[in-house]
Amino acid sequence: MGSLAAEREIEREGARVLRHLAKGRLERRRSGDYALAARAGGKARLSVAADLVAAFEARGWIGREPDGRYGLAAGGEAWMRRARAAAPDAFRRQHGAIEDLGAGLAIDRAAAPLDALKRLAGPDGRSFLTPEQAAAADRLAEDFERAHLRPRLTRDPGALPGGAVWVTNTADRLGAGAYDARRRCLAALDAAGPGLGDLLFDVVCLGRGLGEAERGFGWPQRSAKAILRLGLDRLAVHYGLASGRRPPGRIEVWRSALDSAPDAAA
């Protein structure tokens, strides 16, 4: 990992991982990689490759504890302080927290609740969101920003869930790129359908937390995670990132068996 690109990747991953180690620890999994757990035996929250853990340790950013897990070292704390103090926005852009879209537009991905879900890993080590779901969310968020919709949102308690309303702007007030992005954004939300599209709008576009969305829609606690994945599945099909095909369901298998069974009266 001696190249400049590799060094930047290490620093980018360091900025992503080290901030979690004030309270969490990295522990080795059976796969050989490491996972962040809030406590010993806790549920994994993000995955870190073994070569990155070795690179962090070599730079003095993390240290091995008596139980074999890795925690944040004084060198890691100092590196984070220096980098942030030098140029906060430049540091966050360099390490992928802020992504430039061009034309003066940028997305602060690290500030979005969806970014935490992208890093979330289950007990089996698999990511909570599939690559197709994550890519679909990114495309919707980018179109939303390119459409210049965020500055045109106002607050109105009687409007959409969460108080957001559209301020109408005709095509002659928008540039061609922004107008096309707006059409793509609305088409994607329509493709997701009622309910799912509303949740995608709140979480992916507006960056609201899942808990806030659940309260706004009157849904049970912790229900939005599963519903969000369904919405992202539809979004991935809409964008052509997934086929939408699935194995036959139980009712379809049962119906097929009935259709193929010989007529009892024959």
pLDDT tens, position by position, 14-30: 888 888 887 788 888 88
In this prediction, residue 189 carries a pLDDT of 94
- Under the banding of pLDDT at 50, 70 and 90, the label for residue 3 is low
Least confident stretch, 52-56, 123-127, 167-171:
167-171
In this prediction, residue 137 carries a pLDDT of 92
* pLDDT value at 173 more than 80: no
In contact, 203 and 210? CB cutoff 8 Å: yes
66 vs 40, residue with greater confidence: 66
* pLDDT value at 204 more than 60: yes
- Under the banding of pLDDT at 50, 70 and 90, the label for residue 91 is very low
109 vs 187, residue with greater confidence: 187
pLDDT per residue over 140-154, tens digit each? 988 888 887 764 444
* pLDDT value at 244 more than 70: no
* pLDDT value at 98 more than 80: no
- Under the banding of pLDDT at 50, 70 and 90, the label for residue 257 is confident
- Under the banding of pLDDT at 50, 70 and 90, the label for residue 171 is very low
Give the pTM: 0.50
CA dihedral 219, 225, 227, 231 (to 10 degrees): 140
- Under the banding of pLDDT at 50, 70 and 90, the label for residue 200 is very high
In this prediction, residue 190 carries a pLDDT of 94
What is the average pLDDT across 247-263? 68
* pLDDT value at 259 more than 70: yes
In this prediction, residue 197 carries a pLDDT of 93
* pLDDT value at 205 more than 70: yes
In this prediction, residue 95 carries a pLDDT of 45
What is the average pLDDT across 90-96? 47
Distance (Å, whole) CA 139 – CA 148: 15
What is the average pLDDT across 52-62? 90
- Under the banding of pLDDT at 50, 70 and 90, the label for residue 185 is very high
What is the average pLDDT across 201-212? 87
In this prediction, residue 106 carries a pLDDT of 46
